[in-house]
Structure 1
Amino acid sequence: MKKLIIFTILLQNILFANPNALNQATIEDIMQERQEEVERIMATRQQSGESLFTQKPTIENKDKYISNNVSINNTSSNIDNYPQMQYEQQYSQEIPAYTEEQLLLMKQAIRNKDLRAVQKKFLEKKYTGFENTIQIPYEENKTQKIRTRFTMATTIIFESKIESYILGDQSGYKVEEIPNMPNAISIKPFLIGIDTNLTIFTKDKKIHNFFLYSTDYKNKELPNLLVKILDDESKILTQKQMEEEARKYFVIKEGIAEIKVEKEQMDFSYIKKAKKYNEWLIPSEVFNDDTFTYFKYDKKQNGKVPVIFAVIDKHDTPVETKVIGDWIIAESRNDKWTIWNGESYVCIEKVKPNNQEQKVVE
């Protein structure tokens, strides 16, 4: 009977949050199985003449109890602790052994329980979706407050690129830089009810200081999930820098991969030779700078990336290449190149600027 009671208590604890996770038929099957097991044990003890319930040990029956149940040191302290020892031994040995199917059902019950950890403020009819975004005008030497929330990330966006930052509590908060967004940063609290400071240095030589504190789903105030730092001065400066960069550099970019080529170094003095049926393989643009050679192919029209070889001593020699966007970049400079795609090929040769042309061989 004690086995049945223990099993019932364990099952109730597991299913407390969601009693519907196991269907009634399954529960009855488990209970029936345990009941049959208890009945078998009781029948065995009756046949052997053993008492159905273990006799509570006393000083008089100590020796018999020791020989039949446990091995202990013959000290007065152990004699006084017999009832507790008997209880611990009996209950530690009678933990029911569940089948894999039973364990799986219990795990599913735990997973399916309703955590009720949704912040109700998000679900109110008055919620418009703009409440989590704030815009803060930059003020020199002012510390701005940002309300964060456990299990959520807050993103801070600046007008200028971020140069570096200092986080006060690195064990309670995590700061992450965002790929391809040098002017943004993400912060996330690891704990509830903590605070710290965050200082960010931007490339426009300005310092931004923040006081961060974390809440949870029970808080009546919504967290600040998107924080925009407005700064007209930095915006104008950033725009000027972008215009200056566009005048100075030719930028090849795809995702986080980026190469800047100084326009003054770009040399387009190449002649392209191909047979008529290989004309489709001719790159639309070819140029080199002081380090690399660049070949442009439209990805949409050319599904397979051509292979670039440098012609050295009249032999095609493999070179290291990388692809960024529509450009194949050979990490070398050479006067002659061969471009292969299957059985088709194109020859590229460097010439003087006034002789630059494209030739199609019949």
Structure 2
Amino acid sequence: MIEFNDILQAHARIKSIVKHTEVVHSKLLNKWMGHEIFFKVECMQTTGAFKLRGASNFLAKLAEQESLPKHIVANSSGNHAQAVAFAAKQFNIPVTIYATSNISSIKAAATKHYGAELKLFDTRLQADSAVQEAASEKDVVWIPPFNHPDIIAGQGTACLEALQSIDNINAVFAPCGGGGLLSGTYVCAKHFDPQIKVIGAEPLAANDAAQSLRNGRIISLQQTPKTLADGAATPSVGHHTYEILQQLDGFYEVNETDIAYWTQWLHHLLKMHIEPTCAMTMQAVAEWLNDQVSPQRVMVIISGGNISATSMQNVWAHDHLTKLPSLGQTHLNNLSNK
């Protein structure tokens, strides 16, 4: 398991490559919900997502060790692809990305823009198999999307910056695909204060992590899931991330209607382009807050903002803005009586 010091070292390594993104809030949302909710907006990161942190740390550490490869390969549904392509460009190393043919068009275009070659496959399992074969060649290094200590440490720097910016946080929420961001968030938050709750969210339609946590072993999805939260459509978590995920304080599975609902509302309230993958985390926040008996201060890691036109059309297929975010009057009355 990684330690907090690994995250500190990662932050020092990558500060010249990644942006120190803002923490924002919505006064209106806080009024409606009866709690203080803060958002670490990694949608404003250079490549539009937190993934740049892990990829940059992976390569910067190799550079420190004078062991940079001649070629880099990676497998990704999009955000990791862009991150690896951008990070590798900083070190002048050519990149080949292996992905599925349903990759978001905007993520594919950005990946190519950063100079990477993009190879597409029908399924995630085929792409994963191809990248493993390519990684076996001489002087080639595979940068995994989540299942590596240096990736986890890099992703944890988002939480580090967030908790350095805002005091007295009671809980931190993050989405879960492969678990790199959520694992790094857990290690970081628990160092700041062991009492901070760390809670994850995952699409119900792609709930391999939830199944794994319930069954006490890693379970892989047998088919590519259909979900608005494409960034969390990984077949399974990894053994590095799973070890940490088992210690979480809570984990929620979110249906597609709620994913669309919170994507629309966060776009409206924060005036930012936010991916369904991280917007769904607000449903976990709402369900958790509904069980609290005192006012809470929570941090939500907004993991990215790269959305294709097709995804946007699906998100806005039905108007959810007619229903205001709320925990209900009974809950608010209970809070006011404390």
TM-score relative to the length of structure 1: 0.18
TM-score relative to the length of structure 2: 0.19
* Higher strand fraction (1 or 2): 1
Q: In terms of Rg, which structure is larger?
A: 1
Relative contact order: is structure 1 or structure 2 higher (C-alpha 8 Å, sep ≥ 6)?
2
